[in-house]
Amino acid sequence: MKLETELIKIQSKSAFSNKEYLTLAIPLIVSGISTPILGAVDTAVVGRMPDPSFIGGVAVGTLIFNTMYWLLGFLRVSTTGFTSQAQGSNNEMEMTLSFLRPMVISVMFGLFFIAMQYPILQVAVYLVGASDTVTNHAETYFLIRIWGAPFTLLSYVIIGWLVGLGKVRLSLTTQIFMNVLNIILNFIFVLGFGFGVAGVASATLISEISAVLFGLLMIFRAKQIHISKVRGNMILETTPLRKMLKVNRDLFLRTVCLLTMTVIFTAKGASMGEVTLAANAILLQIHYLIAYFFGGFANASSIMVGRAIGSKDEDLYKRAFILSAQWGISSAIVLSICILIWGEYVVSLFTTISIVKEIAINLLIWMIIFPFVGFWYAQLEGIFSGATEAKFIRNSIILALLVFFIANWLFIPLYQNNGLWLAFILFMLSRSVFLWMYVPTLRKNIGVFENKL
């Protein structure tokens, strides 16, 4: 565990260098990108089929799961924040409890989703309003993959906990295992056996379950969990449980706003036809890859801020702002240039349908713009999450959603699908601007640096 030892050692140094930041961030970037690769591989595999309804069906099915699981995305974000703070204060018992508390919540919600699968499916299909063919494919995808709900949510806790401890190699290994297995099974089930959308869903289900079992095995082999010392009343202890639920409530509402935007975006695209829906689905997959790339920097900053608060290290807190901004803007420039040069090739990896490819290529300008707004909100959300000050994240995205509604109303009648993408970009920009306005009050709310020992 050489890498983990190095990460723990550098947290106490006041001069956190660019090299040390990248040592932390790069594995987290690779680990983060592996998450949207699941959806990207699914889209690319069905994109080899002759009918765009296959892409649309997987896109709608994926949207339903994103809606469900993103609502519980706080399990990963808050687990990282609380775990990094517990490690910063060298509290081993609290590190264990920061894993067990959200684990119980994840299992409960996973079982709830399975029990409510048919009402969830009916409501989702009604809201999206896609064609009958797309809907049939989406239903097939959903009814298979839903059985992995408890495992998917458990994976959020596992990844969040490992990231919070800075154990990036274990996090990275777990997610790479899941994605390699998913890719192999996709090719076997879809391109080999011709199972179509059912094969895509089955491959994802098996890979998600296998990844959780693999992750738990790695955690217990590393002997970082001290369950034998835990008593039931510790998990339900009022003060830390109330704080966790408060942070999770705010992150939950943040995700509700994000998913409201995503559902409206997908539904508007679906109303413009199957081809437009398929083209938008491809660009959304590219957007997810970029967003999760920046998520690696956000996770690194979240770890730094959490440890800074736990150890009352103000210099480390300040460096989190500087380093995440420097590397975020540099990466945004590089990514935009890459999309400008190789964007058409990337689109071709997702589909061989000429009309879908043509529309997606014409929309690439929005993916060239996106990195410049994407890095900013990712940087800030990472910092606020590490400080477990989620109410500011909640407030900023509520305001951004209002901007999205207004932009939809103004620009879609004028520019159709381009107007929809303009509203999307304005939503992302607004998240950044409104959250930035809360930065001056963040340090005051944390309060630990005024009482440094």
pLDDT attached to residue 402 = 96
| pLDDT tens track for 158-173 | 888 887 777 777 877 8
| pLDDT tens track for 274-311 | 889 889 988 988 888 898 888 888 878 887 887 787 77
pLDDT attached to residue 159 = 82
Proportion of the chain above pLDDT 70, given as a percent: 85
Q: Which residues contact 354 (CB under 8 A, 6 or more apart)?
A: none
| pLDDT tens track for 357-378 | 999 999 999 999 999 998 998 8
Q: How many CB atoms lie within 10 A of CB 177?
A: 17
Return d(Cα 49, Cα 365) in angstroms, integer: 26
Q: Which residue would you say has higher pLDDT here, 333 or 11?
A: 333
Q: Which residue would you say has higher pLDDT here, 416 or 195?
A: 416
Is pLDDT above 90 for 96? Answer: no
Average pLDDT over residues 319-328: 88
Written in H, E and C, the secondary structure of the chain is CHHHHHHHHHCCCCCCCHHHHHHHHHHHHHHHHHHHHHHHHHHHHHCCCCCHHHHHHHHHHHHHHHHHHHHCCHHHHHHHHHHHHHHHCCCHHHHHHHHHHHHHHHHHHHHHHHHCHHHHHHHHHHHHCCCHHHHHHHHHHHHHHHHHHHHHHHHHHHHHHHHHCCCHHHHHHHHHHHHHHHHHHHHHHHHHCCCCHHHHHHHHHHHHHHHHHHHHHHHHHHCCCCHHHCCHHHHCCHHHHHHHHHHHHHHHHHHHHHHHHHHHHHHHHHHCCHHHHHHHHHHHHHHHHHHHHHHHHHHHHHHHHHHHHHHCCHHHHHHHHHHHHHHHHHHHHHHHHHHHHHHHHHHHHHCCCHHHHHHHHHCHHHHHHHHHHHHHHHHHHHHHHHCCCHHHHHHHHHHHHHHHHHHHHHHHHHHCHHHHHHHHHHHHHHHHHHHHCCHHHHHHHHCCHHHCC
Return d(Cα 18, Cα 10) in angstroms, integer: 12
pLDDT attached to residue 230 = 59
- Asked whether the beta carbons of 37 and 181 are under 8 A apart, the reply is no
| pLDDT tens track for 212-265 | 998 888 777 766 666 656 555 566 665 666 766 777 788 788 878 887 898 899
Q: Which residues contact 132 (CB under 8 A, 6 or more apart)?
A: none
| Band of pLDDT at residue 441, cut at 50, 70 and 90 | confident
Average pLDDT over residues 190-219: 86
| pLDDT tens track for 5-14 | 344 444 444 5
- Measured torsion, CA atoms of residues 143, 144, 146, 147, in degrees rounded to the nearest 10: 130
Average pLDDT over residues 112-119: 92
Measured CA distances, 216 to 75, 151, 246 (Å) = 16, 11, 27
pLDDT attached to residue 82 = 78
pLDDT attached to residue 334 = 95
pLDDT attached to residue 369 = 96
Q: Which residue would you say has higher pLDDT here, 409 or 318?
A: 409
| Band of pLDDT at residue 445, cut at 50, 70 and 90 | low
pLDDT attached to residue 179 = 82
Q: Which residues contact 344 (CB under 8 A, 6 or more apart)?
A: 361, 364
pLDDT attached to residue 18 = 82
Average pLDDT over residues 388-412: 93
Q: How many CB atoms lie within 10 A of CB 12?
A: 12
Q: Which residue would you say has higher pLDDT here, 298 or 421?
A: 421
pLDDT attached to residue 27 = 75
Among 67-76, 358-367, 380-389, 410-419, where is mean pLDDT lowest? 67-76
Angle formed by the axes of helices 417-436 and 274-311, nearest 10°: 10
- Largest interatomic CA distance in the chain: 66
| Band of pLDDT at residue 3, cut at 50, 70 and 90 | very low
Among 188-192, 374-378, 401-405, where is mean pLDDT lowest? 188-192
pLDDT attached to residue 428 = 95
Average per-residue pLDDT in the chain? 81
Residue with structure tokens 């992302």?
A: 428
Is pLDDT above 50 for 38? Answer: yes
| Band of pLDDT at residue 446, cut at 50, 70 and 90 | low
Is pLDDT above 90 for 333? Answer: yes
Q: How many CB atoms lie within 10 A of CB 14?
A: 10
Handedness of CA 378, 379, 384, 386 (dihedral sign): positive
Return d(Cα 249, Cα 254) in angstroms, integer: 9
Six token digits for residue 212: 């959780």
Whole-model pTM: value is 0.72
